[in-house]
Amino acid sequence: MSTYTLDTATSRANPTPAPMKRLTVPAIRNRKGKDPIVMLTAYTTRMAQLLDPHCDVLLVGDSLGQVIYGLPTTLPVTLDMMIAHGAAVVRGSYHAVVIVDMPFGAYEASPEKAFEAAARIMAETGAAGVKLEGGTAMAPTVEFLVSRGIPVFGHIGLTPQSVNALGGYAARGRSNEEHSRIIDDARALADAGAAAIVAEGVVETLAQEVTAAASCPVIGIGASNQCDGQVLVTEDMLGLFERTPRFVKRYDDLAGRISAAVGTYADEVRSRAFPGSDQVYAPRD
């Protein structure tokens, strides 16, 4: 656990908190079967500053398309968007490993195209690695990237970039065929050198089997508390949205608190109670 507090975790414009050493991808991989890995999404510098003391991994997810930009799916997210937000998160963190999602269309065509996109992400953000969706079919790409010095997190089960092919966001692994395929996906990614695998929206017993089958850490989201770690979209778990997936536990109601604060501000502006004497400048004597 980090030894510094929120008031010292500011930004790269300020002195680095001490003692401080950023976690590494090999350190995360070595957590397999040990202390659970804490992972949350981050898209901005300020959120990274707040999450960093508590998290082992910060994921700059392509979910930013929906959370930040109001897009209906992750499919319109671009490589430039991921790079801009990835760099912002790296600037706001000192402790956690930062992983950046590769957006739809940036890696599927060939391992070579995937390397071009991943190399841009690594060079332009300072992130520690990338994440891509897909199992057995993407294993050669994972191996290609890893062999060229790019750490990769895999993503199996419910893969949002494949929402049109999957027919929606329902849980995966309910049929015997899908069950076996997801286990094969996990093994293929681990054998290809994936540093960790996100297993999303899979039935609990399957998540436990996947965790046992993969030689690298399996990080669950809508899976099982027996996975090697957990990840959620930060804005979901903080209660910033009225509708969230059933696997989300809300740890706060920030939407309600923000609405109440803004309502109070609006009332005070309309009544001329704000600004008060403490918020205005007196003339010089």
Active site residues: 200
- 11 Cβ contact partners less than 8 Å away, ≥ 6 residues apart: 45, 49, 91, 92
63 known ligand binder: yes
CA-to-CA distance for 280 and 240, rounded, in angstroms? 32
Smallest Cα–Cα separation from 28: which of 221, 216, 223, 191?
216
177 known ligand binder: no
CA-to-CA distance for 59 and 145, rounded, in angstroms? 19
Q: How many CA atoms lie within 13 A of 152 on its CB side?
A: 33
CA angle 209, 214, 218 (to 5 degrees): 80
Residue 190 one-letter amino acid: A
CA-to-CA distance for 24 and 30, rounded, in angstroms? 10
| Residue 89 CA, distance from chain mean position | 11
62 known ligand binder: yes
131 known ligand binder: yes
Contact status, residue 50 vs residue 31, Cβ threshold 8 Å: no
35 known ligand binder: no
Q: Encode 33-62: b = buried (16+ Cβ within 10 Å), e = exposed.
A: eeebbbbbbbbbbebbbbbbbebbbbbbbb
Residue position matching structure tokens 């500053």: 49
Residue 127 one-letter amino acid: A
Burial label, 164 (beta-carbon count in 10 A; 0-12, 13-18, 19+): exposed
Cite the annotated binding site for 3-methyl-2-oxobutanoate by residue number. 62-63, 101, 131
Cite the annotated binding site for Mg(2+) by residue number. 62, 101, 133
